[in-house]
Chains A and B, each alone.
Chain A
């Protein structure tokens, strides 16, 4: 996460989830684009640390959840684009479900007076 200002939003396990969701929404995107999307979609609240994004992307590719290919951006730069696979879609569903459960559980504890 960004070092100085924002509170410690520990994205650890959820980075995968965000990336998969981003790719499912946008189809095919490169790393920089994913960072921008997450930033925008969370109203500037979440800023992905780029140092952890790329290892995660490569890891997910090794696991078979996303595939990559080199292509030209609209500004005529070569970049590596990532796309979701069927396995990735299944993983996305699973991750979303477990995140929902986590949120529910935490809320329940907080509401418990």
Chain B
């Protein structure tokens, strides 16, 4: 076939080349012979033959092109030539590569994170069939155990449904307990996922024979290695979990970390034994929503069909349990993202960051296009000469394109290497010490693929822009003056436009970062309803020490009394879970006089806490009316509660809340309001005001205890004093002492990440702008050096020289900055979505952005400006 001969020709290149040369030579020789035979002199004959033949080089090139139409050969030649050209102008090459490395690197990192969070499935074999079953209401992701059992037994769309819960437990083998995060799972959990143990065995449904009947534990590979030194004899031994003995029956495989993508608990226990771990049973009550439920779809069943089936079952259940299962519905979501809690917010944030990263890349491409255009303009003379000796425009274009692609690939490779390193560092990072969070963002094939695609695209597109210039080159004109063709729109050329675009983008990104920084700062100082400064938290895990809810109260009381005795302590109190520490429960609230306690009759869903008398003082929460709890409150006295202002307003309107009544939850108990406190933040810093309830610890049987101690002592001293007090009371009680400000780390985490990311983007954009402006300024100065020399010789003053040299870049800088700032203001909605309380209309932000752009301009034009000023006219005029 013809194609084989073409391929073959590639390998016999030099031979083919010589043959073609010989053939053409022969043609000319034959004509010379004929001419001589016709009577011309040899010299004449030769001249005539050559003239008639035309341009031999061009012909040879065209013949070669006809042969090697696979153009791999010509491509290789192009590449080598391009390489040589780039080596000759290292400044251009390095600038371009750096620019692209920044742009592409940024995008690769963002895509890598996106890939990990959104695109990566769970690490189990049937991940594509797994779904999570949540409530209809968005944000409500937990199920109750009895509901789960009903769904499990009555559905027809799933091969099986499993339930699990994340908790904390203290593991000890005789000595002190260490706290770990654990999974409490239903018996069929491992079977649904189709995983096998690495050692020993897993527990199954057959092991479950009623509450607390299966005291088995399966270790994670990591825990087995770190705590048990990878000792295979650990199978069959017992450990104490929250003081209850459990037998280790197996170890999971290395890559199996459960059904959550980012949080990797250390061991699994059967959910039927959860009471021993948690201290109370949440398996019994139907309105106790504490589990995640996942299921494996039957083959051939679509999620929509499954949802319909589940809703039908839910309908039945509402019928049977009108109060607890009121308005029960089902929705299916992707599993692994903590019930999508992080998921939705993370997704929107990532999309926004991806847009910004794209903008950075566009800016980088604009920069590259500008540089390429400048270079092409520089080489106009060279190109003109090449065109005149017979090179085709197409050939020259391919040349330029090859150069651009080479630069792009080099830049892309550099950027990708840095990006992959960053992703690796991100994977090893554990942002918050208490939670086993792992953000594995390893670069896989998809990430590299994107990197290559981006590199090529950002090489080819900017490379094409100078093409227009090449096409329109008028050879004679170009050879004479060496000047570039006149620009597009009057006095401003395409290059200027590109630079202006780049600067606008930079200004935009800088504005965005500043806005987010301000927003972050503001949200940190938003009123939280308590003062973390000066307070220390001592989280005492009563369940781990074996206390159940009922036995905890006397110990709690003693803790408070002893802590209050420490010198320097001004106030002490306890709360079950401090606000903004990532926990807490909520309950529906009903008005006084309600008789039917179904969910739809509730007035609000309120968070609730258990506090001791004195907590309000310790937390520095202001009491607006009424009074604090006292130790006189007990299980036998009337039930009382303190509410926050939002609650009071929602339930009682403008009438005074103190003295009024309400119902919660099951509706069996009537509460009286004895005090109203200020509003605060309970879940996150960016939440809207929500109602909150506080019960006296004496009436609520809550073993979870966080001691809040306010004092003026330095944290270290206070910590050691409290340490002594707590160990004195119960030496086996595990507790963690930490200043309250440190505890807020989890809550501030998303905002911090957002700020860092945006700050980095802004910095990248600024660097790009500096490069761009510098490039243009340097170029402008070098072009007009001769003209500047003449001006100086004619007596121009420094300012005039500067103006003529740098006038254009500065004008572009200013106009670009203004455009970018305006763009930033217009994008305010997007930014406000990302960062709480971020308004670009903040004067500090605008000032900051302007200052930043001015700084950019100064840095970028410093060197060219000094060069312009140092111009020596005599020397210049002598040179070319």
Contacts and interface: CB of A to CB of B under 8 A. Distances in A.
A13 interface: no
Interface string A28-68: 00111000000000000000011110111011001110000
Given A54-B59, A55-B63, A62 B24 contact: no
A78 interface: yes
Interface residues of B, number: 27
Given A59-B66, A62-B67, A31 B23 contact: yes
B52 A58 contact: no
A75 interface: yes
B5 A49 contact: no
Interface string B28-57: 011101000000000000000000111100
B5 to A, nearest CB: 6
Given A51-B59, A62-B67, A80 B23 contact: yes
A52 B54 CA distance: 10
A38 to B, nearest CB: 14
A26 interface: no
A50 B30 CA distance: 13
B117 to A, nearest CB: 53
Contacts of A14: none
Contacts of A30: 26-27, 30
B58 interface: yes
Chain B binding site: helix, strand, loop or mixed by DSSP? helix
B55 A50 contact: no
A55 B54 CA distance: 14
Given A58-B67, A62-B67, A78 B59 contact: no
B63 A54 contact: yes
A50 B28 CA distance: 10
A32 B54 CA distance: 14
B2 interface: yes
B26 A50 contact: no
B388 to A, nearest CB: 17
Contact of B30 (A52, A56, A62, A75): A75
Contacts of A50: 27, 52-54, 59
Contacts of B1: 64
B65 interface: yes
B62 interface: yes
A77 B33 contact: yes
Given A58-B66, A59-B66, A77 B53 contact: no
A102 interface: no
A78 B30 CA distance: 10
Contacts of A80: 19, 22-23, 26
B179 interface: no
Range class of the A interface residue count: 20 to 34
Given A50-B52, A62-B5, A77 B29 contact: yes
B65 A78 contact: no
Nearest to A59: B66
Contacts of A31: 23, 27
B289 interface: no
Given A62-B5, A77-B26, A51 B53 contact: yes
Contact of B59 (A55, A59, A64, A79): A55
Contacts of A64: 1-2
B63 A58 contact: yes
Contacts of A77: 26, 29-30, 33
A89 B195 CA distance: 69
B842 to A, nearest CB: 68
Contacts of B62: 51-52, 54-55
Contacts of A78: 22, 26
B165 interface: no
B58 A51 contact: yes
B30 A73 contact: yes
A58 B20 CA distance: 10
B379 interface: no
A62 B6 CA distance: 7
> Which among B20, B27, B67, B69 has the highest number of chain A CB atoms within 10 Å?
B27
Nearest to B55: A51
Contacts of B20: 54, 58
B29 A55 contact: no
Contact of B66 (A51, A55, A75): A55
Contacts of B63: 54-55, 58
Contacts of A75: 30, 33
> Which among B20, B29, B65 has the highest number of chain A CB atoms within 10 Å?
B29
A59 B68 CA distance: 10
Contacts of A58: 20, 63, 66-67
A73 B29 CA distance: 11
B2 A79 contact: no
A35 B53 CA distance: 11
Nearest to B31: A32
A27 B817 CA distance: 75
A49 B59 CA distance: 11
A79 B24 contact: no
Contacts of B59: 50-51, 54-55
B52 A62 contact: no
A31 B22 CA distance: 12
A32 B30 contact: yes
Contacts of A62: 2, 5-6, 66-67, 69
B48 to A, nearest CB: 13
B2 A49 contact: no
Contacts of A51: 53-55, 58-59, 62
A63 B2 contact: yes
Nearest to B65: A55
A54 B20 CA distance: 9
A26 to B, nearest CB: 15
Contacts of B29: 77
Contacts of B55: 51
14 contacts: A51-B54, A52-B62, A54-B27, A54-B59, A55-B62, A58-B67, A59-B66, A64-B1, A75-B33, A77-B33, A78-B22, A79-B26, A79-B30, A80-B22
Given A75-B30, A78-B22, 19 more contacts: A30-B30, A32-B30, A49-B54, A50-B27, A50-B52, A51-B53, A51-B58, A54-B59, A54-B63, A56-B66, A58-B20, A59-B66, A62-B66, A62-B67, A64-B1, A79-B23, A79-B27, A80-B19, A80-B23
Interface of B: 1-2, 5-6, 19-20, 22-24, 26-27, 29-31, 33, 52-55, 58-59, 62-63, 65-67, 69
A-B CB proximity, top 4 nearest: A32-B30, A55-B62, A51-B54, A79-B26
